[in-house]
Chains A and B, each alone.
Chain A
């Protein structure tokens, strides 16, 4: 189990992420009750079934294109962006696009190989919850991971003006 960092604390995670096991497909996998984060393929295949749910989450893989769900975004209370390896940086662009271009305002969660030293960048592009890898020091990540730098040169989701436009 990952440790979910949200609002500066390790939070209880009400969400279950739907896994498609061997022998199952997006079309056939059972959809359990409760707060559920579903892969993009399940969302695309099972929209009528999922429509009745009060809250729904979406899981995006690095090669899932956010453009394909741009119109559906208000439907999701949480979008989890997976980092299968922390050196795969596609999720940063996914997050930036969700927040900056498509106006997604729900919870944006980094999942997968989420580590202390990437939290600063993740926060900047628009993540607001972080499933820190199990076994890592969550207290220290909360204390130091988000504040490695006190300012930044470029505009990003957390600061839409580059530093040069904020000079006195």
Chain B
């Protein structure tokens, strides 16, 4: 993975000093709360429900074992001994003290980490596919260009105060695993006539106004990505709405102008930057790409793996094809039933760091599904790895299954939330705790967000659950049919929302309709596409008064 050199270290060291000084000036009253707010946000520091929340960047999902041990140390020393991985690869700590944050940043800087631009109205952490570099279906490794984009976006002087936050995702595989259709800029690497470049998608996003992005340029040579992004950002910075935070994302600008006019403006702007100094040189690409060369894989023969049923289940769900024969990528599940999805303790972090050193060249990744990936494991080591991961509570075989839920921190922690999300996830996990049943149900994405900001990506879950506030009570709206990937689309709301207590039953009824209707080997989403949303809706609302009946009931009461 990328190793910092002199300038990278110098800039994050200067960032630590700058933030320490900003905290000092804020405490002494030289900076008002309003003046300090964007400064702390651009260092990942929120003021939340119980305490500040601190978000540490994991650029394009890559960590080494030394860094993970440092995260374990920081969570143990300055927080309550655990952290939460988010859908954008970042690690969140829920209980730090503001006074400690400069020291926490200094500790991070020791291992080439930071919290730069993990929040605020600026260019955020660039995300990509957790299997980058090892995926069997990879066309181009996106990580060198992700790192080049990270550097370009870091302290960009023109784009530090955008109308709203700005998220970029890159995918280099046939199947998009980076949710690129729902980012401010989504980039698909591809090869056309021997030339490497991007399809550039702009204006996607989840949140309050979920919109699928649109293609602004079908092919952009890789060398031009910085100048092209600058053109997009400049059009957005100048013309994006600033009068209403809910209408300030670039997706609203793209909708307002229409994609043709937006594209025309970007292309007109790009004429000036095209071929200029921001054009990436081959030398720079090669310099950065040299950090992402393949590790020293061994030639390994066929191995016979134990027949143990529990192990076989884990193999089926938690290991993934690797481009090198004899190796596999492994997902360590942070979705153990009953634990907040994405949470990991400091002790578990230390264990994962050891496992990475022992079995995966000392590196790991974070997936947007909030799990940890060991990307380069010898098949002959899988059994030993499984045993150790299982002992640490990290081997729940539910990746891609109903209980492998994506979930935001929700109303237990987050100030923005309308409703709790973690208890809903845990209640559903408790209902579907039988592995035979879970495996029989098969592949299904269940995503939960505690509010319309959609940190839990509920819009793109096959089943999506959104926490809503109704007269100060927490309710949950259910969507069906959302999906990520190449055919990414938004789920449809099935009807009136439910109370928290109803949610396990609602999910169970949806699953029953699927099981009754599925053809052999048909996944949930395929059955749903074939039979449509109505059978699910009818079952879920069976016996419940709604529409005219409900109105009549109310009138009678």
Contact = CB atoms under 8 A, between A and B. Distances in A.
Report, as a range, how many residues of chain A touch the other chain: 35 or more
B529 interface: no
Interface string A142-165: 001000111111111000111111
Contacts, number: 104
Q: Which of B159, B162, B238, B287 has the most CB of A within 10 A?
A: B238
Contact of A121 (B121, B157, B280): B157
A89 B35 contact: no
A152 B277 contact: no
A122 B226 CA distance: 21
Given A87-B121, A92-B237, A152-B155, A164 B284 contact: yes
Nearest to A161: B277
B237 A93 contact: yes
A88 B7 contact: no
Interface string A56-92: 0000000000000000000000000000001111101
A164 B226 CA distance: 12
B431 interface: no
B281 interface: yes
A151 B7 contact: yes
Contact of A89 (B154, B155, B237): B237
Interface residues of B, number: 41
B158 A149 contact: no
Chain B at the A interface: SS class:
helix
Contacts of B278: 154-155, 162
A161 B237 CA distance: 22
Contacts of A101: 272
Contacts of A148: 14, 18
Interface in A113-136: 115-118, 120-122, 124-125, 136
A160 B10 contact: no
Interface string B5-24: 00100110011001001100
A16 B190 CA distance: 56
Contact of B157 (A90, A92, A116): A92
B4 interface: no
A144 B154 contact: no
Interface of B: 7, 10-11, 14-15, 18, 21-22, 25, 30-31, 35, 38-39, 121, 148, 151-152, 154-162, 226, 234, 237-238, 242, 272, 276-278, 280-281, 283-284, 287
12 contacts: A89-B158, A90-B238, A101-B272, A121-B158, A124-B157, A125-B157, A149-B18, A152-B155, A155-B277, A161-B277, A164-B148, A165-B284
Interface of A: 86-90, 92-93, 96, 101, 115-118, 120-122, 124-125, 136-137, 144, 148-156, 160-165, 167
4 closest A-B pairs by CB: A89-B161, A124-B157, A164-B284, A121-B157
